[in-house]
């Protein structure tokens, strides 16, 4: 078989789409199943190579290193595809396999580094380079996916949290705040099929309404009159079944009230609809300390979209769980408060309360 015939045979036996997808993700699990060669450089690499990704039209796939070399390509010196498993790649692979097998346990970076055979610092840096996230972010993603699966099968949120491997309900609630939420499709249907219970209370900012599904809080509204807030809730979810809650929602309402009054940060679970970009913004808001502020530009830069200041402002305006996702902590670059769904006066008072109770930082 000549080189041209061999190359055609190779391309036929490799799933081109799957190979390209694995290469784009730098999937270490695909290492050893094929290599890719770049016509513009004359070099071939393993799928997980950290080098910059070439244009698709310049890429060819080969089942083995030998086939790539017979076609005239030379091995990459960075990922060393000729080695069965380059040491960094093998170490990260061991780390991922260990995290996959121990997703229900608290694994420290030191423990993981010992398993991988690298120092904690080297593992952290190499894992991020090859996988795209840190070991902790990788473990959190696995656990959050398990939480979603358990929530689908269980009517008991607390039981689902512990079954997913969280050591406390607080940890599960924090994960739900950043990773869970009803689908955008459900929200577009006006909450059709949803059952929302709500409770109200008086706060330093007037009345607050807290609405929740079986998965978590889906609405926090501030206003002057209870009837007005209930009307807004029904307008927000016109197709949902809405009813006043009993004492079973008291803990959620109390948590929101305490946060409004500046007593403590709440860890109630959320069921908030949002796009991937919106949740990226909202997650950044959750990381702003109580009593501190960030500008819309700082949030945009922090999520890797420095030119998306207006989109960040829209995401803040579309936040339906006031205070729990603290969009009131985002201000304009000139120091002005900017807009707030529940009025600039409430935004000013929320910040004033938080700043008065924030713990002074040591110089």
Q: Is 316 a catalytic residue?
A: no
Q: Contact at 8 Å (CB) between 302 and 249?
A: no
User: Which residues, including other chains, have CB under 8 Å from residue 345's CB and lie 6 or more apart?
Assistant: none
User: Which residues, including other chains, have CB under 8 Å from residue 295's CB and lie 6 or more apart?
Assistant: 330, 331, 332, 333
Residue 336 tokens read as 């002005």
**Which of 49, 218, 316, 327 is labelled catalytic?**
327
Angle at 197 between CA 172 and CA 313, to 5 degrees: 65
Q: Is 45 a catalytic residue?
A: yes
Choose among 233, 193, 239, 188: nearest CA to 211. 233
**First CA to last CA distance, the chain:** 73
C-alpha to C-alpha distance for 206 and 224, rounded to whole angstroms? 5
Assign residue 208 a region: left if phi > 0, alpha if psi is -120 to 50, beta otherwise?
beta
DSSP states along 198-265? EEEEEETTEEEEEEE-SSSEEEEEEES-HHHHHHHHHHHSTTSEEEE--GGGHHHHHHHHHHHTTS--
Place of tokens 């094929």: 34
In a 13 Å sphere around the CA of 144, the CA atoms on its Cβ side amount to 15
The alpha-helical segments, DSSP class H, found in the chain are: 3-13, 16-24, 65-70, 87-101, 109-116, 120-131, 135-153, 157-163, 169-179, 184-188, 226-236, 250-260, 276-286, 296-302, 309-317, 344-357
In a 13 Å sphere around the CA of 113, the CA atoms on its Cβ side amount to 13
**Which of 45, 49, 79, 316 is labelled catalytic?**
45
The residues that are catalytic are 45, 327
């Amino acid at each position: 078989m000549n080189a041209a015939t061999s190359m055609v045979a190779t391309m036929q036996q490799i799933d081109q789409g799957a190979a390209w997808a694995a290469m784009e993700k730098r999937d270490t699990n695909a290492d050893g199943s094929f290599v890719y060669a770049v016509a513009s450089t004359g070099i071939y690499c393993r799928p997980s190579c950290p080098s910059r990704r070439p244009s698709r039209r310049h890429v060819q796939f080969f089942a083995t290193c030998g086939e790539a070399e017979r076609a005239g390509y030379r091995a990459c010196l960075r990922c060393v595809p000729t080695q069965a498993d380059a040491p960094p790649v093998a170490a990260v692979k061991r780390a991922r396999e260990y995290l996959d097998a121990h997703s229900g346990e608290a694994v420290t970076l030191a423990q993981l580094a010992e398993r991988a055979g690298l120092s904690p610092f080297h593992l952290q840096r190499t894992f991020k380079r090859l996988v795209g996230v840190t070991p902790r972010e990788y473990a959190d993603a696995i656990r959050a996916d398990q939480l979603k699966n358990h929530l689908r099968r269980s009517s008991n949120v607390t039981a689902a949290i512990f079954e997913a491997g969280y050591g406390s309900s607080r940890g599960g609630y924090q994960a739900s705040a950043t990773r869970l939420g009803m689908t955008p499709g459900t929200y577009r249907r006006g909450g059709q099929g949803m059952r929302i219970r709500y409770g109200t209370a008086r706060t330093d900012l007037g009345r607050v309404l807290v609405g929740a599904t079986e998965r978590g809080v889906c609405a926090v509204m501030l206003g002057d009159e209870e009837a007005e807030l209930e009307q807004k809730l029904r307008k927000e979810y016109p197709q949902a079944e809405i009813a006043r809650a009993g004492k079973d929602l008291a803990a959620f309402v109390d948590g929101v009230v305490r946060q409004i009054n500046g007593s403590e940060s709440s860890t109630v679970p959320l069921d908030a609809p949002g796009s991937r970009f919106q949740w990226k913004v909202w997650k950044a808001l959750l990381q702003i300390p109580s009593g501190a502020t960030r500008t819309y530009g700082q949030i945009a830069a922090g999520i890797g979209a420095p030119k998306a200041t207006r989109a960040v402002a829209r995401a803040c305006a579309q936040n339906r769980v006031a205070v729990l996702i603290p969009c009131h902590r985002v201000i304009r670059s000139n120091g002005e408060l900017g807009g707030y769904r529940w009025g600039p006066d409430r935004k000013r008072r929320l910040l004033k309360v938080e700043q008065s109770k924030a713990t002074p930082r040591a110089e």
